[in-house]
Amino acid sequence: MDAQKVKTLTIGPEATIKGAMQSINDAGEKILFVTDERGGLIGVVTDGDIRRGIINGLDLSSPVRKVMRPDFICLSRSASELKKKAKALMKKHLIEYVPVLNRNRELVDIISWIECLNGNGKPPQEMLRHPVVIMAGGMGTRLDPFTKILPKPLIPYGSKPIVEHIMDGLHEWGFHEFILVLNYKKEVIKLYFGENRRQYSVEFVEEDGFCGTAGGVSLLKDRLKSTFILTNCDTILETDYREILRWHGEKGNMLTIIGSHREVSIPYGVLNMANGSFVDIREKPKLDFFINTGTYVLEPEVLDFLERGRHADMDSLITLAKRRYPERVSVFPSWGNWFDIGKWDEYRMSLKRMENVEN
């Protein structure tokens, strides 16, 4: 790994968890190496370690040392056949990265499993046998007047419609079965996908009336027999779906909500008061939240809470599932990019970001 990349994957023990999240997102990897002031490796922290810390109640301002693991597998720079030995360690310990240290225990290199096994680039993905249900029946009033002409799923995003961009992205992770729940301008959507020459299947289910953000899934009760993904047709989420499925399975969840980190700036001085007295003032504070992305992992049993063809919103379904399965509904914290393209401001911002990436 080149020296600049190694640098982007290192972090100090007093850096915040929030800073570590940003570093992982910027580097496009799943791990950071924690080094002391002289560059000595003292621990590693993965996105999973951060996620568990957040779920266990750690504040995002907490130091990364609270979630780092001081035990790690490493190699000495003086060892011969480094990549061969790294590959053997990766297979034995089921890890994706091996740090290389000099005699002073300073981090000098990182060997990734992609380098050892596949060269550079994204590793090939195995096919996932989990259907993806996309709620594509809404009128898209937030994108009016575009949606007076085109249904929201077919609003252009770059060189292709939003919904096709979503499906292509999911297909890269290994998903190959897509079911679109349709209503508004459904014939236009069906016509667009009429001659499907894509590498994945596209099927449709049609609502008789507008069934809300969850009601349309009730039409698939007899069809969905295993874990499935449910998502909106106007949100783009860049995350590790395989990690989400692992998380969902390991926790034995019935419903997993994917939450995206958002920092919200308050443009005013915020007054703190207690017991009727003024405590202090925070000038233009920045607050951290995990917001609902509109993407979920569900077990088919959750659909028992829905009456076929009746209106139901997702928040109501989540509440019912939480009441019935109090320990089996949880949030998967994500800090990858997420865009709500159903809003004009987000739509324009995401288009600008796409242009910058392509250029």
pTM above 0.95, yes or no: no
Q: Which of 234, 164, 228, 226 is nearest to 200 (CA)?
A: 164
Confidence of residue 354 (pLDDT cuts 50, 70, 90): low
Is pLDDT above 80 for 355?
no
Where do the domains of the chain lie, and which CATH numbers do they carry? 3-117 (3.10.580.10), 132-358 (3.90.550.10)
Question: H or E segment at 350?
Answer: helix 344-358
Residues 6+ apart with CB under 8 A from 240: 30, 47, 173, 336
CA 202 to chain centre: 23
Is pLDDT above 80 for 40?
yes
Task: Kindly report the average pLDDT of the chain as a whole number.
Answer: 88
Residues 108-149: pLDDT tens digits? Answer: 999 887 777 654 444 556 788 899 999 998 887 777 777 788
Is pLDDT above 80 for 20?
yes
Tell me the CA distances in angstroms from 276 to 183, 238, 273, 283, one per residue in order: 53, 45, 6, 20
Tell me the CA distances in angstroms from 97 to 86, 105, 317, 336, 347, one per residue in order: 8, 17, 40, 20, 36
pLDDT (mean) for 143-170: 87
Residue 121: per-residue pLDDT: 44
Confidence of residue 156 (pLDDT cuts 50, 70, 90): confident
Percent of the chain with pLDDT over 70: 95
Please tell me the total number of residues recorded for the chain in this structure.
359
